[in-house]
Structure 1
Amino acid sequence: MRRRLPALVCVSASLLSGCGLLPGDAERSTVTVWLMRHSASQEYLDRFTEEFEREHPALDLDIRVQEWTGIGEKVQKALESDEEDGPDVIEVGNTQVATYAEGDGLLDLTLESLRDWGRDDWLPGLAEPGRWGSQQYGIPWYAANRVVIYRKDLFRQAGVAAPPKTRDEWLDLTEKLDAGGNQGVYLAGQDWYTLAGFIWEEGGELAEERDGVWRGTLDGPAALRGMDFYRRLQALGDGPVDADEEHPPQADVFARGEVAQIVAVPGLARAILKQNPGLADELGYFPVPGRTAGKPGAVFTGGSDLVVPAKTDTREGAVEVVAALTGARWNTDLARTMNYVPNKAGLAESVAGEEGVAAMAAGAARGRATPGTPQWAAVEADNPIKEYMTEVLTGADPATAAERAARRITEALAFD
């Protein structure tokens, strides 16, 4: 969108007859790219820009870093605008793609993703929410998901030799850790992203589309089993039943107290160590366990996709940028630089040397995203899942509470 610059400026008719372009000259285009703050280091962006422009001599990159606060409204405005300096490539949260695609604001990248970019190999938690209908609009860039961060010293004190391989083992060792006078696990009562993983692991869903209509499904048998596992695990610690993982921040609790485990992204370790540097050699990581050994549990996958506005007039250049950033070379470079999970399970070896990221990558292979409807934002705005969780953890009948929460989700999803 936007600017096109002649590769050669006519300085004198006597030097360049008729001011014609010499052989090999080409029109230059600027590709404007919006990326979010902290998604990539400045050093990475500088290096990428230099090499991309060298490999694409007819393209210039204009990378503009955006803030997450208020980004939804800003992106919507850009998609509807004809401004010449608008973005040609935009980084968006993986669960936001449907919202932008619904209004025909995004370029359909299905052919490119099938032909050249290996769509079948992408992490499902990034690829699935990048689709709207049968078209691929969001191209997976990077992922992050929850793992279990644990205290190696507290495991040793309790006689726990190794991380668990199954959910049953996880409950058993957490009970053992809890019996030693520490909190076996700190799990806030309203950590609904963690609950979602347990529900998916049981084969349940938060909501499903049937005959074109979305309905809440927390009251299904599998979803109820997921909530029951959450209840049993949460009871082996002192996490508040009426608050989420940020109230208080679980990193603070873990750093200050004798807490053996938390469920969080590995990056949270930085906040823990800032408050308690003495734990530097005692932090360990393992994937959230699944029901069977050798298969990590399902987890919510967060992260970012790259999209191209439908109104771009530098389509080919925008596609080249997306292809480069999401391709194996630069995607693995980003993962190593920022401790992310690459966009394909086959690239996980690139982060195998870092324990926390390796655990995250193992879990990402079974990652999921929230239901793929633009109306899901209405559910999260007045989240009935959190209220449901607190009700169950304080003794309410799970089936009754789940039915009420599912009905509220259905109502929110029907709002247009």
Structure 2
Amino acid sequence: MRLPKIAAATAVVLLAAACGDGSGDDRPDGLTVWVMGTSQDALVEYFDGVEARFQESSPDTDVHVEFIPWPDAQESITNALAGGDAPDVIEIGNDQVAGWASQGALLDITDQVSGWDAASEMDQNALEYGTYNGVQYGVPWYSGVRTLYYRADWLGELGHEPPTTWDELVTVAEDIQEEYGVSGFGAPTDFTNGIASFIWSNGGEIAVQNGEEWEGRLTDPATVEAVEFYASLSTDGISPQGYVGENELVPLADMANGELGMYIDGGWALASMEEQAQDPAVLEDIAAAPIPGADGIAPAFAGGSALSVFSTTQQPDLAFELLTVMGDQEGGKGFADAAGFFPAYPELLESDEYQEDPNRAAAATQMQNTRFFPTTPRWTAADQDNKILPAAVLEIVRGGDAEEVLAEADEQLTAILNEPVE
């Protein structure tokens, strides 16, 4: 089935008017890139630059970019596998690499990556996250992490620095509530990314791989303690009851309107805050800091996207060449800056550009302490489809015994992660 050419914000962007010059070269007139999201002026300008760089070595090959809305990604890729229009290079969520690789959508690029100098400069954990069964199917394009948003003016008036530990988090939250009459911290229960940071910071795990089998770790004492603490933020009145059963979009609106002191979210939340703030002046008092952990900065899930070569491309070598232009330090930083994320190159995050801006500095610091979810196609089924961890937290908040709830959740998690990949 031919994918519709979506008008306006999600239109196909044709970055060059001229096609091949008829010289007889076997290179194609164009390569197609699928980018997830919607078209923006900054992104179109970025791809103009990508095409110009790419055409230095392939002057007769245009770069065609199609923006695919994230909600349509599953159907679009499935249709491409079934014989519909397909890209040569594709962006996918970094937690989706294993899933699409297992379905045959992505090309094995192990040899090409091993010979690409830029790969050694990337975040090696993020690069490893682009593998499945020991095969490289994707490389990190950009990264994004969550941080702690807080009311800097309130903390200043209270004489507090941003909290760096759980105890400090509770103290600051209680003082905010007492002084300003709003909840001090938001802890939504449908928030795996946030809950995971609490687990990891306490030395716990969600699941680990033992040989070819996955083993849930939700009954580990460190994990139980972390989940109990996170749940207690709701049961003890630190976090509003209105966030029980909700995701981070609910506290976002409250943060933007002066109804909350602190909560955890990513840099992408700032644009939403601007849209929802009834008084834009409030946003000037919102700052960011690394996520507080049990005894110091907590690890955060390193979200972001990977670049892959689609399995049906007729020009795999040329497609990988285009991938390198998009994904080297220049290309990776260019896209990250245009889209509001961070490049997947640790040394770039140490520059003044990231360290001197307070909000970017918080995320750049957080980027030095990241973790990843289980590298298995079954993680989506465990988390997005069955919401195993959020459901357990919700049940505990509603009065369930933590050890019993997590024991049952652990059995379910282990079973799902070990189901055969179709």
Tell me whether 1:185 sits opposite 2:185 in the alignment.
Answer: yes
Distance (Å, rounded) in 2 between the aligned partners of 1:124 and 1:388:
32
Against the structure 1 CA distance between its residues 211 and 336, is the aligned structure 2 distance closer, same or farther, given a 3 Å change threshold?
closer
The structure with the largest alpha-carbon Rg is 1
Check the 8 A contact 2:290/2:366 in 1, yes or no: yes
Against the structure 1 CA distance between its residues 113 and 212, is the aligned structure 2 distance closer, same or farther, given a 3 Å change threshold?
same
Distance (Å, rounded) in 2 between the aligned partners of 1:301 and 1:286:
16
Distance (Å, rounded) in 1 between the aligned partners of 2:164 and 2:197:
16
Q: Which residue of 1 aligns with 2:402?
A: 398
Q: Which residue of 1 aligns with 2:12?
A: none
TM-fit CA distance, 1:55: 4.7
Distance (Å, rounded) in 2 between the aligned partners of 1:45 and 1:381:
34
Aligned partner of 1:364 among 338, 362, 367: 367
TM-fit CA distance, 1:291: 4.4
Check the 8 A contact 2:102/2:377 in 1, yes or no: yes
Distance (Å, rounded) in 1 between the aligned partners of 2:59 and 2:109:
24
Check the 8 A contact 1:339/1:351 in 2, yes or no: no
CA offset digits 1:310-354 (Å, max 9, x no partner): 332211211111111111112122222222011122121343343
Distance (Å, rounded) in 2 between the aligned partners of 1:353 and 1:60:
38
TM-fit CA distance, 1:117: 4.1
> How do residues 27-176 of structure 1 correspond to structure 2 at under 5 angstroms?
27-29=26-28, 30-38=30-38, 41-79=43-81, 81=83, 86-123=86-123, 126-160=126-160, 162-176=161-175
Give the gaps of 5 or more residues in structure 1: 10-20
CA offset digits 1:100-157 (Å, max 9, x no partner): 1113432222233233244454336633331102121111001112101111121123
User: Secondary structure of 1:410's partner?
Assistant: helix
User: Secondary structure of 2:142's partner?
Assistant: strand
When normalised by structure 2's length, the TM-score is: 0.85
Aligned partner of 1:352 among 355, 361, 371: 355
In angstroms, what is the RMSD of aligned CA positions? 2.5
> How do residues 195-206 of structure 1 correspond to structure 2 at under 5 angstroms?
195-206=195-206
Tell me whether 1:229 sits opposite 2:232 in the alignment.
Answer: no
Check the 8 A contact 1:117/1:323 in 2, yes or no: no
Check the 8 A contact 1:218/1:403 in 2, yes or no: yes
Against the structure 1 CA distance between its residues 42 and 7, is the aligned structure 2 distance closer, same or farther, given a 3 Å change threshold?
closer
Q: Which residue of 1 aligns with 2:343?
A: 342
Distance (Å, rounded) in 2 between the aligned partners of 1:195 and 1:117:
36
Check the 8 A contact 2:208/2:214 in 1, yes or no: yes
Tell me whether 1:408 sits opposite 2:407 in the alignment.
Answer: no
Q: Is 404-413 or 173-182 further displaced after alignment?
A: 173-182
Check the 8 A contact 1:123/1:343 in 2, yes or no: yes
User: Secondary structure of 2:306's partner?
Assistant: strand
Distance (Å, rounded) in 2 between the aligned partners of 1:170 and 1:284:
15
Q: Which residue of 2 aligns with 1:288?
A: 291
Against the structure 1 CA distance between its residues 220 and 121, is the aligned structure 2 distance closer, same or farther, given a 3 Å change threshold?
farther
Matched letter for residue 95 of structure 2: T
User: Secondary structure of 2:141's partner?
Assistant: strand
User: Secondary structure of 2:244's partner?
Assistant: coil
User: Secondary structure of 2:90's partner?
Assistant: strand
Distance (Å, rounded) in 2 between the aligned partners of 1:88 and 1:157:
55
Against the structure 1 CA distance between its residues 356 and 223, is the aligned structure 2 distance closer, same or farther, given a 3 Å change threshold?
same
> How do residues 165-314 of structure 1 correspond to structure 2 at under 5 angstroms?
165-180=164-179, 181-234=181-234, 235=236, 236-240=238-242, 242-246=244-248, 249-274=250-275, 275=277, 276-293=279-296, 296-314=297-315
Against the structure 1 CA distance between its residues 341 and 397, is the aligned structure 2 distance closer, same or farther, given a 3 Å change threshold?
same
Against the structure 1 CA distance between its residues 38 and 202, is the aligned structure 2 distance closer, same or farther, given a 3 Å change threshold?
farther
Against the structure 1 CA distance between its residues 49 and 148, is the aligned structure 2 distance closer, same or farther, given a 3 Å change threshold?
same
Matched letter for residue 176 of structure 1: D
Distance (Å, rounded) in 2 between the aligned partners of 1:124 and 1:218:
27
Check the 8 A contact 2:232/2:397 in 1, yes or no: no
Check the 8 A contact 1:130/1:139 in 2, yes or no: yes
Against the structure 1 CA distance between its residues 124 and 386, is the aligned structure 2 distance closer, same or farther, given a 3 Å change threshold?
farther
Distance (Å, rounded) in 2 between the aligned partners of 1:394 and 1:36:
37
Check the 8 A contact 1:6/1:28 in 2, yes or no: no
Distance (Å, rounded) in 2 between the aligned partners of 1:120 and 1:205:
28
TM-fit CA distance, 1:304: 0.7
User: Secondary structure of 2:71's partner?
Assistant: coil
Against the structure 1 CA distance between its residues 317 and 405, is the aligned structure 2 distance closer, same or farther, given a 3 Å change threshold?
same
Against the structure 1 CA distance between its residues 241 and 256, is the aligned structure 2 distance closer, same or farther, given a 3 Å change threshold?
closer
Check the 8 A contact 1:126/1:303 in 2, yes or no: no
Check the 8 A contact 1:341/1:351 in 2, yes or no: no
Distance (Å, rounded) in 2 between the aligned partners of 1:117 and 1:204:
35
Check the 8 A contact 2:38/2:68 in 1, yes or no: no
When normalised by structure 1's length, the TM-score is: 0.86
Q: Percent identity?
A: 27
Check the 8 A contact 1:125/1:302 in 2, yes or no: no
Against the structure 1 CA distance between its residues 125 and 359, is the aligned structure 2 distance closer, same or farther, given a 3 Å change threshold?
farther
Against the structure 1 CA distance between its residues 8 and 273, is the aligned structure 2 distance closer, same or farther, given a 3 Å change threshold?
closer
Matched letter for residue 306 of structure 1: L
Distance (Å, rounded) in 2 between the aligned partners of 1:125 and 1:250:
31
